[in-house]
Structure 1
Amino acid sequence: MNEAIDVEGLSKRFGAVTALESVDFRVPAGTVFGLLGPNGAGKSTAIRILTTIVRPTAGHAAVFGYDVVRDAGTVRSLIGLAGQYAAVDKNLTGRENLRLIGRLTHVRRSRVRARATELVERFDLAEAGDRPARTYSGGMRRRLDVAAALVPDPRVLFLDEPTTGLDPQSRNALWEMIRGLVADGTTVLLTTQYLEEADQLASRVVVIDRGRVIADDTPAALKARLGNTIIELDVEEARRAARAAELVSARFSTRPDVEGTRLRLTSHDGSRPLLEILRLLDAHGLVPGAVAVHESSLDDVFLELTGRRAGDAPDSGRTSGEGS
């Protein structure tokens, strides 16, 4: 089967609150798929449904053809889950944690010890494997948590914001481990607020906002749709920024986004418009105090689509009922 996950019309309501509304997406087998959205968008609700923790209100979801409600037991045998926070027992050693997970997930007793050894070595935990997990650094605990999700050798691994709170070195190390898993045939569904993470790892992303899918494409296609270059100018006063936006809008085909004193516009023509913009603003006494030019990223796409940055708190118009 080419599709590891198939989601059609998925909806979830908690009383009067809508967490997901008619969500559709498909995840090809053997890939990393990014599920993105602001805080409160419904990402974690989708993960809970796909991992059989909660039932959908409406719609259909399947993992390798098995319905997450009707075939929940089979689905659980096919998946692994590492949540937003490390779920290891701090008083057990790394190896003991993995052996415990093996017993809980009904891995053959003859296989449990060998599997624990394989995983502590693969996740660079061999030297710390016989130490209590409470002595581990944050990055080590996250690696152990992901290793625990892999004890039963799942075909699909769900990673719900796996690198939250990690330093850049630990984050990069976990990225390499995820790439290695996919190279071995595992399908990974990743939720994250680090847009660079999705850009680095995912072959396709879905953006959810207020419980609905607002974009579904490859990272490259989403960035190309926005524009190749982002130009930002700071005119140091909100009133002057609004005036500068009016002038730029009258000269160019698109209106800049204005955030406080900062103007932000996308360009499909590189940085070429910048000189004309500076001349225009200078002619009206609106010389920017700061100018920045950079290539578009998924962060820029995210801001363009949602009007918010990934880590922003949910606004008053949110519909999601729980989590992210």
Structure 2
Amino acid sequence: MTALLDVRHLAVSLPGAGGQVLPVIHDATLQVSRGEIVGIAGESGSGKSMTAQALLGLLPERAQVSGSAVLDGNTELVGRSGRAWRTVRGTRIAMVFQDATAALHPMLTVGRQLTEHMREHLGLDRRAAEARALDLLDRVRIPGGRGALRSYPHQLSGGMRQRVAIASALACEPELLIADEPTTALDVTVQAGILELFDELRRESGLSVLFITHDLGVLAALTVRAYVFYAGRVMESGPTGELLLRPRHPYTAALLHARPHADDSWTLPEDGVTRPDEAAERRTQPLVTIPGSAVSPAAAPPGCPFAPRCAYAEAACTGELPPVTEVRPGHAVACRVLPDLTEVPA
């Protein structure tokens, strides 16, 4: 399958105090095919959001970006100027941010925010833009139609605001949608509805999605392939099912064991009912943690950045960066040891 987005050896550095240059993304390579939802997972500060911002030219001023990120085989994203981004950002690639409240302007109605860039980029008049805005609200299942268009963001619930943000991102029919932890602040029921919406958009319109999350349950429910980031590097990549059930990198395995109730299966029992005694037993089990603290990409030690926290680390792990090894077709691991990890219970 031809990649809609093909990122090769992406590196990002930010200006620091005293003229320092701080590396935050190291040699990231990833692909997203048409009609595919691909996940990026990892702890806070691992470089997930910074990668997304680099792909949209939203990095701070004086940021240094190298490598390549090609959209649809013909549009290089790295090195684009501010004016050149107008033909890509919002039209061919759009982004849904984590905090819809911050992403939406509090002083503008939903209708104004949905129609303004449609009129700018698609050349629609006011009536046509409003008709398309109504269609978008219906598409993301926001009731109320014209009443919703007249509302201000603070008059909507958190879930509705996030749906408005998704509608706004879809307004100019992008080929690729980047979703940066769009369900983090939502309750479980609303979160499930948002995830269902993303999958529905993929099935109905062939939309490609790069979905950033720290929630491995969300990763399992939505994505077909995934990339696990740590300290600005891709530690493991491959089909989501393989990553979650047969991880090969110690960091991926540690994340899986550290999630609450790590002995849970990824699906409910056949009858869909969790027994009270089973739930109570899981609540009494101690949480597993990863030793030490996550390291920032700029402060990563030589060699494998996870080595100081890794139970399988050897002397060679602290000297040179680990090679990237394909352990199965499409499943790659940046690890020198490749220990025999216990399978995550299914």
**Same fold, TM exceeding 0.5?**
yes
AA at the equivalent of 1:91: M
Residue 94 of structure 1, aligned match among 91, 98, 110: 110
What residue number does 2:297 align with? Answer: 319
Higher deviation after alignment, 114-123 or 103-112: 103-112
Say if 1:94 and 1:120, in contact at 8 Å, map to a contact too: no
Letter of the 2:88 counterpart: V
Report whether the alignment pairs 1:159 with 2:211.
Answer: no
Q: Pick one of 124, 131, 135 that aligns with 1:108.
A: 124
Question: In 2, distance between residues paired with 1:208 and 1:181?
Answer: 26
Instruction: Letter of the 2:238 partner, please give it.
Output: D
Would the alpha carbon gap of residues 146 and 258 (structure 1) be closer, same or farther in structure 2, given more than 3 Å must change? closer
Aligned partner (choices 140, 145, 161) of residue 141 of structure 1:
161
- Tell me the CA shift for residue 149 of structure 1: 0.6
SS of residue matched to 2:118: helix
- Give the whole-Å Cα distance in 1 for the aligned partners of 2:39 and 2:166: 17
Residue 173 (structure 1) shift: 1.0
Aligned equivalents of 1:90, 1:73: Cα separation in 2: 24
How far residue 48 of structure 1 moved from its aligned partner, in angstroms, is 0.8
- 1:30 aligns with 35
Deviation (angstroms), 1:150: 0.7
Relative to 1, partners in 2 of residues 1:104 and 1:196: Cα closer, same or farther, differing over 3 Å? farther
Amino acid at match of 1:5: L
2:282 and 2:44 map into 1 onto residues whose CA distance is: 27
Q: How far did residue 72 of structure 1 move?
A: 3.7
What corresponds to 1:198 in structure 2? 219
Q: CA deviation at 1:107?
A: 4.4
In structure 2, the residue matched to 1:120 is 137
- SS of residue paired to 1:26: strand
Which stretch has the larger CA shift, 106-115 or 215-224? Answer: 106-115
In the TM superposition, what is the alpha-carbon distance from 1:258 to its structure 2 partner? 10
Counterpart AA for 1:36: A
Partner of residue 252, structure 1: none
1:169 to 162, 184, 189: 189
What percent of counterpart residues are identical?
27
List per-residue Cα deviations over 1:294-313 (Å, max 9, x = no partner): xxxxxx9xx8xxx47xxxxx
Equivalent residue runs for 1:273-288 within 5 Å: none
Question: What one-letter code is carried by the residue in structure 1 that aligns with 2:186?
Answer: L
Specify the code of the residue in structure 1 equivalent to 2:7: V
- SS of residue matched to 1:180: helix
Which range moved further: 8-17 or 138-147? 8-17
* 1:6 counterpart letter in structure 2: D
What does 1:2-21 align with in structure 2 at a 5 Å threshold? Answer: 2-15=2-15, 16-21=21-26
Give the aligned residue type for 1:47.
A
Q: What residue ranges of structure 2 are gaps of 5+ in the alignment?
A: 16-20, 249-255, 264-279, 300-346
Structure 1 or 2, whichever has the larger Rg, is 1
CA contact (8 A) 1:82 1:149 kept: yes
> Does the CA contact (< 8 Å) of 1:205 and 1:216 recur in 2?
yes
Deviation digits for residues 20-67 of structure 1 (CA, Å, limit 9, x no counterpart): 000111111111010111111111111011112236532111121210
Q: Distance in 2 between matches of 1:292 and 1:44?
A: 32
Partner in structure 2 of residue 61 of structure 1: 69
Equivalent residue letter for 2:106: K
1:188 is aligned with what amino acid? V
Q: 1:91·1:132 contact (CA, 8 Å) conserved in 2?
A: yes
**SS in structure 2 opposite 1:57?**
strand
Q: What is the alpha-carbon distance in structure 2 between the residues aligned to residue 292 and residue 120 of structure 1? A: 40
Task: For 1:96 and 1:258, locate their aligned partners in 2 and report how far apart those are by CA, in whole Å.
Answer: 46
Q: Provide TM-score, normalisation by structure 1.
A: 0.69
**Structure 1 residues 12 and 205 mapped into 2: Cα distance closer, same or farther (>3 Å)?**
same
**1:12 is paired with a residue of what secondary structure?**
strand
1:249 maps to which residue? Answer: none
> Which amino acid counterpart does residue 170 of structure 2 have in structure 1?
L
Q: Secondary structure at the match of 1:175?
A: helix
5-14 or 105-114, larger mean C-alpha shift: 105-114
What are structure 1's unaligned runs of at least 5 residues?
Answer: 228-256, 266-289, 294-299, 309-313
Which residues in structure 2 correspond to 1:201-240 (within 5 Å)? 201-226=222-247
> What TM-score does the superposition give when structure 2 sets the normalisation length?
0.65
Assess, with a 3 A threshold, how the Cα gap between structure 1 residues 291 and 114 changes in structure 2: closer, same or farther.
Answer: closer
Conservation of the 8 A alpha-carbon contact between 2:38 and 2:224: yes
Aligned equivalents of 1:208 and 1:73: distance in 2?
Answer: 29
Could you tell me how far 1:131 is from its partner in structure 2? 2.2
**Paired letter, 2:166:** V
Q: Partners in 2 of 1:172 and 1:208 — Cα distance?
A: 24
